[in-house]
Amino acid sequence: MPIVRLGDEGRWTNYHGTGTCEAATRFALRSGDAERGRDEIAIASGSVQDWLVDAVAAQRRVRPLGAGWSPSNINIASQCWLLHTRRFNRCFGIDAADVRPGVDASGLMLVEAGALVDEVSDKLEAQGRSLWTSGAGNGQTFAGACATGTHGSMIASGGIQDHIRAVQIVTPAGIHWIEPATGLMNDAFVAATGSVPMRDDDLFAASQLPVGSLGIITALVVDSVPKFLVRPIQNLRKVDRAALGWLAAGDFRRFSAAYALDRDPDFVQMIVNPYKPFKRPAMLRFLYREPWRDDYPRATPGQLGAGYDALSLLGRLLDDYPWARGALLQFAMKQGYASGPDVDVPPVYGSWGEGLDTHRPLADLFNASVTIDRADLAHAFELICDVYARHGGSTVITVRFMARAEGLLAPARFPHNAVIDFDGPRSPRTADAYARVVERLDAEGIAFTRHWAKSCRLDAARVAADYGEDFRRWRAARDRLLPDPAHRALFGSEILDGLGLTC
């Protein structure tokens, strides 16, 4: 059987040590050795459906767990059954004979739900293909990153869930293969997975970003592009107010010419100390996409500038000496920022996957985020810095840019998005400062959304207000997939219920 029980009822803590499930019974879904992927997931999905039926009979709620990566409590539920999918992680090629007429299969891969972003990326790159975006880390399961709307970071791309072309979701009542209305896989392939096809645009858009509320995802079809190189530039520079205006207007070429290379960047990131942000150097990172070639000199993730998560090291110091917060935070930024290549050193290159890294557990790190319309950046940035200057909080402000993402509940829902992250040592003062940021943005009438997998201070009323008609469509799709209220509740938790996703 692909599902095994892991010991007695007990406690489970997530990867970053920020949330704990009490009195949980743990199970694991594991890969088999079937030669064909469709056969493998047919066996697994049937076992998952049986497991869900048993959970209903036992009157226990269920939670799928991949890498347990989310620092928020979005995947935390006590007195429930937990299904670990991390060892259900095989990836399979898809042939032209598996897809519907007119569909190009060359970039597609069938991915089991427990495969990490890193594993998917490595499999694709071994075949001359690549993901075109992802978050800053690669330690999440691909399904989990998509399910919580992990934002992308390429200016012209959306979120990681944009790679999904089809998804298999298991509920107590059935095994569902969900695609857009135009279809993707042929009927013989879908039948071989043990699924019933559901080709519907709203169901698919809901399933791309389900926030763990629509059933158990067992498999995905992931799209890709031909492999490419990126050249990173990373430096410390003072950024003035005029440059914020360039970013808000989408003039990334002008920003790049002023602080890095005089060419169009594909990725721009700015990490700023909110205390005197225009007087202290910001940490800038640019990526420039270039055609693939095999003879580029290999570099380590550190040499490519991956990783900047050492900011938690000075947490106690920052909290104990708030009068020195600005200077200490600047020191922490400098110490914690990976050394990367600037314009005046020989260039280094890497694939997209080589530039990602797996963060160490960040139990003492505070994580929060807002996504705004890029046009509001200059105004919102100054408001945010003013809140920190007045009320404290030991976080840096990270700004990245992306296009509108797919999925009805995608936080990146503006045509052009600025994603503003707040990362720093965990403390009550820092949490209070973020709460005040949210209040200030509301008071100023600046529209924003929040990352599902970070500290977000959301409730059902706010979710409905933020997502409007798309939230109504998502709930309608949910009710078609899970028409029985008892089955909707099966996938709930105190957190998800409070967001209006499972009730």
Q: pLDDT tens, 435-445? A: 999 999 999 99
Closest Cα to residue 255, out of 279, 276, 233? 233
- Same domain? 40 vs 88: yes
Answer yes or no: is pLDDT of 131 > 70. Answer: yes
- Residue 480 pLDDT > 80: yes
* Residue 411 clears pLDDT 60, i.e. is over it: yes
pLDDT over threshold 60, residue 1: no
Question: Among 403, 356, 285, which residue's Cα sits nearest to residue 136?
Answer: 356
Q: How far apart are CA 226 and CA 32, in angstroms?
A: 30
Q: Judge if 215 and 311 occupy the same domain.
A: no
pTM score, two decimals?
0.92
Residue 137 domain flag: yes
Q: Determine the Cα–Cα distance for residues 125 and 111; give it in Å rounded to an integer.
A: 14
Q: Measured between alpha carbons, how far apart are the two ends of the chain, in Å?
A: 32
> Measured between alpha carbons, how far is 432 from 437 in angstroms, rounded to an integer?
9
Tell me, yes or no, whether 337 lies in a domain: yes
**pLDDT on residue 317:** 47
Q: Identify the band that residue 138 occupies on the pLDDT scale cut at 50, 70 and 90.
A: confident
pLDDT over 90 percentage in the chain: 69
Q: Are residues 489 and 381 in the same domain?
A: no
CATH number at residue 320: 3.40.462.10
User: By residue range, what is the domain housing residue 90?
Assistant: 3-226+473-498
* Residue-level pLDDT at 186: 98
492 and 420 co-located in one domain: no
How many domains, in total, are found in the chain?
A: 2
**Is residue 151, in this structure, part of any structural domain at all?**
yes
Task: Read off φ and ψ for residue 237, nearest 5 degrees.
Answer: -145, 150
Asked if residue 174 and residue 270 are part of one domain, the reply reads no
- Cα–Cα distance for residue pair 140/301, rounded to 1 Å: 17
Same domain, 214 and 319: no
